[in-house]
Amino acid sequence: MGNILEKIRILSSKLRHPVKLMELCGTHSQTVAKYNLKSLLPQNIELISGPGCPICVTDQTDIDIVIGLAENDIPIAIYGDALSLPGTNSSLEKLKQQGKKIHIVYSTQDAINIQKHEPDLVFFGIGFETTTPMTAWAIKQGIKVYSAHKLFPPAMAALLQNPNIKIGGFINPGHVSAIIGTKPYEQFNVPQVISGFEPEDVLISIQMLLEMIVNNQNIVKNQYKRVVKAEGNIEAKKIIDKVFEISDAKWRGLGLIPNSGLKIRKQFQNQDAEYIHKDLIEKIKQNILPKQNQCICGKILQGLAKPSDCPLFAKACTPENPQGACMVSVEGNCQIEYRFNNQSVGG
């Protein structure tokens, strides 16, 4: 990696001003923290984490609705990293301890198997384009879903439109890009590199970004060609389009982003928990009261604050007792900071 770091050092000396580069995937953020890559960069290059954790950006109302469904004895299936998401008044983890039917699944096939015995089961669909095809497939198999799925490029547009967030370049998400390909990123007038997940991948991607910045190029480059193809995964995109339609969606920290959500099409409304339980959901929404705490997860997801800036971080808020969504998932910015504490544990 020494040769890459030397190239980064030379390029950094050509920068006219300090630059902020934002990685947009929780797995990239883990690589950066695990191998302490920030410490290897010149001082005029700042690497910040963005909204790359799908658990973290899930809107509080969606979380409260699913918790409300569980409180009303509707069985819920979720991926394990969503179990401890804090709701306004409770969490699925607490309800599970109280005897409510909360099932942790590792795949949508697990949820389908459970539904054979619990026909009212609702699967909580969370994630970007990476996990959406699996949910779409499960809906076609007849499973009921509450969809909080989101499209990632609109979030990038929202970040670029915020005058308080000055981003010099993006390290684009590898997993998402494997599905959507490279074309959706061409709309953004900013240097971008789709990166793999090894430490060397990330450093090469930083080098590529700096080359574009120095040469005043606002284009998309693909460092992760061994996985990401220009056209993406055509079959995965087809099944997403078959089952879902694009809608507006709320993101934690970023607010309402137009055309960033995925709503289940009317054709599949008998598998749409939002339609099936619309009356109950309306009651749940009316009973949601604003939660007051000092969590700054929303600012952290925008790159406007660091986990250590939060007064709750590593005190009241830990992975065992998360007070905010950024501490819940292994891809969450706060949990990554908590676990690795900027100390190198790899080579």
pLDDT in tens, 205-216: 999 999 999 999
- What is residue 345's predicted lDDT score, i.e. its pLDDT? 35
Domain 1-297 -> CATH class: alpha beta
Kind of pairing, strands 169-172 and 144-149? unpaired
Asked whether the beta carbons of 228 and 103 are under 8 A apart, the reply is: no
Element (H, E) at 12: helix 2-12
290-319: per-residue pLDDT in tens?
666 789 999 999 999 999 999 999 999 999
- What is residue 347's predicted lDDT score, i.e. its pLDDT? 30
Tokens of 148: 């909080």
Cα dist from 159 to 154, 206, 303, 328, 330, whole Å = 9, 19, 9, 23, 23
- What is residue 344's predicted lDDT score, i.e. its pLDDT? 35
- What is residue 312's predicted lDDT score, i.e. its pLDDT? 92
- What is residue 291's predicted lDDT score, i.e. its pLDDT? 67
Mean pLDDT in order along the chain per 10 residues (347 residues): 92 95 94 94 95 92 96 96 88 94 96 96 96 97 97 96 91 96 96 97 98 97 97 97 97 94 97 97 87 84 92 92 91 92 42
Domain residue extents for the chain? 1-297, 298-338
- What is residue 4's predicted lDDT score, i.e. its pLDDT? 95
- What is residue 137's predicted lDDT score, i.e. its pLDDT? 97
- What is residue 346's predicted lDDT score, i.e. its pLDDT? 34
DSSP states of 56-121: HHB-HHHHHHHHHHHHTT--EEEEGGGTT---SS--HHHHHHTT--EEEESSHHHHHHHHTT-TT-
- What is residue 212's predicted lDDT score, i.e. its pLDDT? 98
- What is residue 140's predicted lDDT score, i.e. its pLDDT? 97
CB atoms within 10 A of CB 314: 15
Cα–Cα distance for residue pair 141/264, rounded to 1 Å: 14
